[in-house]
Amino acid sequence: MNYQVIIPAAGSGKRMGAGYNKLLMNLAGRPIILHTLDVFEKDPNCSRIILVIHSNDESFFTEIGSRYTKIHLVFGGSERQYSVYNGLTAAKEEGIILVHDGARPFIRPETIARLVAAAEENGAAIAAVPVKDTIKKVKNFEVVETVDRSSLWQVQTPQAFHFSLLKNAHERAQKEKYLGTDEASLVEKTRHSVKVVEADYDNIKLTTPEDLYFAEAILKKRQQEN
């Protein structure tokens, strides 16, 4: 089943603290974003990569874009949600559309295929893993309660949708000035059900400097597998 993917890459990487977009930092000698792009460029079911960028990084991404066959470049906005919304304008208005963070280079093609199939059947599907840690609700550094972990999942990307469902959810959020932390939260507002596809704990988002150490280790493990 074919799909298109929007890859938001227009952030500034504040928490990584490099002083520039973290996606341009090297991981095993290549910019992080290239590791992410390669997964979709190589996937025969991916028909289009809509890469959402910041104007600061335009020359870097224009050069990258010319080396990949599926990339369409779009400028992002001040919030991730606005970046994804801009990405929607460059998509073909049909079929299944994925949204995947540029900062998650370890997504596996098998997970993508399961998400696409689940979205095809249900309209909306997200990658997630069960929460491993004990979670407590805390107020002023004092425990309020221990939360029952059995129904808690940590949500990742990709998130996959029928194009019209995602577009409607975004337009509604825009109208109501609602800012969600992921695409699914916008779709949930429309009361459409969202399926969860169990993904891998190593589908991490590179967010803070120590994530780069984890990333090197994950890459090494993947190379041994292949």
Site for ligand CTP contains 154 (CB under 6 A): no
CA distances from 86 to 17, 23, 37, 157 (A): 26, 19, 19, 18
Compose the 181-220 pattern: x for residues touching ligand CTP by CB under 6 A, - for all others.
------------------------x-x-------------
CB of 207 to Mg ion, least distance (A): 8
**Strands, E, within the chain: which ranges?**
3-8, 26-27, 30-31, 46-53, 71-75, 96-99, 124-130, 136-139, 142-146, 153-162, 195-198
CB of 80 to Mg ion, least distance (A): 6
Site for ligand CTP contains 105 (CB under 6 A): no
Q: Which of 83, 111, 159, 203 binds ligand CTP (CB under 6 A)?
A: 83
Site for ligand CTP contains 150 (CB under 6 A): no
- Is the alpha carbon torsion for 120, 196, 52, 72 positive or negative? negative
**Position with the least CB separation from Mg ion:** 11
Question: What amino acid occupies position 32?
Answer: I
Q: Which of 80, 182, 187, 218 binds ligand CTP (CB under 6 A)?
A: 80
Q: Please tell me the number of Cα atoms within 13 Å of 157 on its side-chain side.
A: 25
Tell me which of Mg ion, ligand CTP, none is bound by residue 78, counting a contact when its beta carbon lies within the kind-specific cut-off of 5 to 8 angstroms.
ligand CTP
CA angle 5, 11, 17 (to 5 degrees): 135
CB of 11 to Mg ion, least distance (A): 5
**Is residue 30 packed enough to be buried (19+ CB in 10 Å), middle (13-18) or exposed (0-12)?**
exposed
Site for ligand CTP contains 35 (CB under 6 A): no
CB of 59 to ligand CTP, least distance (A): 17
CB of 148 to ligand CTP, least distance (A): 28
Beta bridge partners of 195: 125
- Asked if residue 184 lies in contact with residue 82, where contact means CB atoms within 8 angstroms, the answer is no
H-run or E-run covering 194: none
CB of 142 to ligand CTP, least distance (A): 28
173 or 197, CB closer to Mg ion?
A: 173
User: What would the two tokens of residue 193 be?
Assistant: 């059900």
Site for ligand CTP contains 24 (CB under 6 A): no
Positions touching ligand CTP (CB under 6 A) are: 8-15, 22-23, 52, 76-80, 83, 101-103, 205, 207
